[in-house]
Copies of this chain bind each other. A is one copy, B any other.
Amino acid sequence: MDDRKKKILQSIIDDYISTAEPVGSRTVARKHELGLSSATIRNEMADLEEMGYLTQPHTSAGRIPSDKGYRFYVDQLMRQSELTVEEIYSIKSAMETKINELSQLLKQVSVIMSRITKYTSMAAIPERKNSVLKAVQVVPVERGKALVIVITNAGTVKNSLIKISETVLPEFLISVSNIFNEKLSGLTIEQINLPIIREIEILIGSSQEVLMPILNGVIDCIEQIDSAEVFLEGAINMLNYPEFSDVDRAREFLNLMVEKDLISRVLKDISVDNDGVVIKIGKENDIEEMRDCSLVTTTYTAGNLVIGTIGIIGPTRMEYSKVLAAVNFMKKKMQEEVEKLIGKDPGRT
């Protein structure tokens, strides 16, 4: 792959990204001054096609990049771009709202990213393994009702309304609450096991009557934490792109986006052991239905603990450089916010 081929490939991909039309040799010769005739470029394009970087929808059409072409573009050709000052300003002002829970932050970040990129954005807390319980509280609400609250190091607050015997006194509930808190906080979700529950049981002393509802409440909260939270914004943006001008295609995509579990799993798989930005192009995605989408994701951390993943999904013909800039910027921004929110070192409490 000589220098001239690179330049031509870059021109073609740049052009195709902005127009969504197959690019012909004439267009390349005209728009991007390489000082070459269309015939020469034609020859080079034939070579590039043979090498697998380009394909032809049909004989008399121009070329469009293949997944391999995009991959090469992303790895070697793409010009690095930065967000405009307006964009940065709009992000900053959007981030000014008061945020006091991680899920709020994720939602907001998601909205911002989809607005900036005009693609679909995702934000998730997929790594439940890392969740350490920070506090467990039982609060009396009214006679016969109490609220179990579980707070994790990741800033997630979950609660579950439970019924308890009306005879239980609020004071007793508070002491029970303290026992739960003492025994469970500091543990990861996976560390909660039968022996620990047994221990609590013994400490409380009294009958199952109190223990069970609370325990169920705690379990309920943990299940809520466990069910990976995924925020997805701007799915409808995709309908603006010619790739999705067919309703069937659009429906297929949107149906995919509804499957939060799937999205969560995809994000999780990608982000494992990788703290840079990961780009998955077309068929590089495991999911069949995402074969003509690309994914640009990265993880956000607090201290050196990976908390979750944010990313953008768009057509393979996406503005990679812009998306990359946006994702990188938001990663940094998120980092700051997360640290403000849950502290630099969420491991210890």
The residue of chain B having its C-beta at the shortest distance from the C-beta of A342 within the complex is B161
Contact pick for A141, options B135, B162, B240, B255, CB 8 Å: B135
Copies in the complex: 2
Neighbouring B residues of A135 by C-beta, 8 Å: 139, 141-142, 147
Contact pick for A157, options B159, B244, B349, CB 8 Å: B159
139-165 of chain A: CB within 8 A of chain B: 139, 141-142, 147, 149, 151, 155, 157, 159-162
Q: CB distance B151 to A141 under 8 Å?
A: yes
Neighbouring B residues of A255 by C-beta, 8 Å: 236
The residue of chain B having its C-beta at the shortest distance from the C-beta of A248 within the complex is B239
Neighbouring B residues of A100 by C-beta, 8 Å: 160-162, 220
The residue of chain B having its C-beta at the shortest distance from the C-beta of A177 within the complex is B139
CB distance from A159 to the nearest CB of B (A): 5
Neighbouring B residues of A245 by C-beta, 8 Å: 247
CB distance from A272 to the nearest CB of B (A): 29
Whether A137 sits at the interface, judged by CB under 8 Å, is yes
The residue of chain B having its C-beta at the shortest distance from the C-beta of A238 within the complex is B251
The residue of chain B having its C-beta at the shortest distance from the C-beta of A174 within the complex is B174
Neighbouring B residues of A161 by C-beta, 8 Å: 100-101, 151, 155, 157
Interchain CA distance A22-B109 in the complex, whole Å: 47
Quick one: given A98-B220, A240-B251, A247-B250, are A151 and B157 in contact (CB under 8 Å)?
A: no
Contact pick for A142, options B247, B254, B349, CB 8 Å: B349
CB distance from A96 to the nearest CB of B (A): 15
Interchain CA distance A149-B100 in the complex, whole Å: 13
Q: CB distance B147 to A151 under 8 Å?
A: yes
Neighbouring B residues of A33 by C-beta, 8 Å: none
Whether A246 sits at the interface, judged by CB under 8 Å, is yes
Neighbouring B residues of A157 by C-beta, 8 Å: 147, 159, 161
Whether A134 sits at the interface, judged by CB under 8 Å, is yes
Q: CB distance B258 to A250 under 8 Å?
A: no
Task: Pick from A100, A135, A142, A250 the residue with the most CB of B within 10 Å.
Answer: A100
Neighbouring B residues of A240 by C-beta, 8 Å: 251
CB distance from A301 to the nearest CB of B (A): 20
The residue of chain B having its C-beta at the shortest distance from the C-beta of A139 within the complex is B137
